[in-house]
Amino acid sequence: MTDWPAHPVLDRLRALLPEIIRRGEEIEQARQIPADLASSLIATKVFKLCVPKSLGGEEAHPLVLMQAIEEVAAADGSAGWTVAIGASSGSTAAYLEPEAAKLIHGAPDAVTGGIFAPRGKAVKEGDGYRVTGQWQWASGSSHCGWIKGGCVAWEDGKPRMIRDGVPEVLTAYFPREKIEFLDNWYTSGLCGTASCDIKVTDLFVPAAHTISLTRDKPRVGTPLYVFPMFGLLGMICAMTSLGIARGAIRDIVEIAGAKKPTLSNRALAERGMTQNDVARAEAIVRAARAFLVEAIGDAWAEAERGAITVERRAALRLASTHATNESARAVDLCYTLAGGSSVYRSNTLQRRFRDAHVITQHMMVAPPSYELAGRVVLGLPTDPSMI
């Protein structure tokens, strides 16, 4: 049985949930978290959950992060995703040189975001890099002071290779005032996350503002930073999805108790099919969540001993991908049960349906994730840096 950790950030966050629920449609229409609500979220310190204590962060247990993301996502999917990205982005602070880490993450209201996909080019120049690139999915861009972008490192006119056929990928931090934000976030789901494209052109980035997640080691040696970065990214996808599914189940329970389908004298809740499908959705979510909690607990136990095995890394990715896809399946059951009511914008189930299916498209929980985990299960050689 999991001993769920308490945390003051959770207490502050829970007090904000009714307002997040109330403003769901406003978040959707604004295509970002409104500024005053973002300020309220920042004040809870939820975006500091993965920042090292040495920088004024919370350096919290992953199950605290899980509770925070799930509960906000159950209130509103876009808000949950924004919290997931902003909170988890603080973990890379542990890789930075102390002075750079303090500059970027040290302020009490500092929030960062980022995209690890190597869509930029970083050309070695003196004590830094000249960076040009454009990145998709800059979630939370409306309230981030710094945003990271993945870049292929170039030197002497060619990509710098770490081994045959594999170039070195750097993650570079850009200050907000040097970023061009492209207003192109028009999507089917997670509409309120401000996940627009960002662009930098010929920007000089000091080497101290770059990290290599395959080459560099965390400068903070506590368990949280032993967790693999790709594993953490997969986890937050799953946590958000589980929260959205939990919200969908709450929605259908409320709808089923009040709605009488056309040509019926019985409430929807009294129908056997409703009882069957609600029970299935509940079981799906609980089972997927239990696997994720188990994988996190096992990985944490190894992290406390200083290293996480490839098998535990693979289990984290597998549990995350499984939970994301199963959560969407549970949402589908709830959406279908609600009948015609679910298609109206006034019904939060239509938003949860769209949000859940957008997350299934994320590269960290896409079908190739199963292949990575399958290689480990089958005992095949697997690059641990990929999981």
d(CA 44, CA 66): 16
By the 8 A CB rule, do 353 and 342 touch?
yes
148 Ramachandran zone, left/alpha/beta (phi>0; psi -120 to 50): beta
What digits encode the pLDDT tens for the residues 185-244?
Answer: 999 999 999 999 999 999 999 999 999 988 899 999 999 999 989 899 999 999 999 999
Question: Which amino acid type is present at position 180?
Answer: E
The answer to whether residue 311 scores a pLDDT higher than 70 is: yes
- Enumerate residues 6+ apart whose C-beta is below 8 A from 161: 167, 168
Separation CA 211–CA 229 (nearest Å): 12
Rounded distance between C-alpha atoms, residue 104 and residue 142, angstroms: 16
pTM for the full predicted model: 0.96
pLDDT digits (tens, 9 = 90+) for 363-375: 999 999 999 999 9
C-alpha 103/C-alpha 97 separation (Å) is 10
Q: Is the pLDDT of residue 352 over 70?
A: yes
| Residue 345 exposed, middle or buried by CB count within 10 Å (0-12, 13-18, 19+) | exposed
Share of the chain above pLDDT 70, in %: 97
Total residue length of the chain: 387
| Cβ-based neighbours of 270, under 8 Å, separated by 6 or more | none
* Angstrom distance (rounded) from CA 47 to CA 19: 18
pLDDT of residue 261: 61
Domains present along the chain, CATH in parentheses: 8-94 (1.10.540.10), 112-211 (2.40.110.10), 227-381 (1.20.140.10)
What residues form DSSP beta bridges with 210?
172
User: Across residues 179-185, what is the average pLDDT?
Assistant: 98
User: Is 316 strand, coil or helix?
Assistant: helix
CA 326 to chain centre: 17
* Per-residue model confidence as pLDDT tens digits over 241-290: 999 999 999 999 999 877 666 556 677 888 899 999 999 999 999 999 99
Tens-place pLDDT, residues 85-98: 999 999 999 999 99
How does DSSP assign 23-38, residue by residue? THHHHHHHTS--HHHH
Burial of 144 (0-12, 13-18, 19+ CB in 10 A): buried
156 vs 5, higher pLDDT:
156
Asked if residue 1 has pLDDT above 50, the reply is: no
| 114-135 average pLDDT score | 97
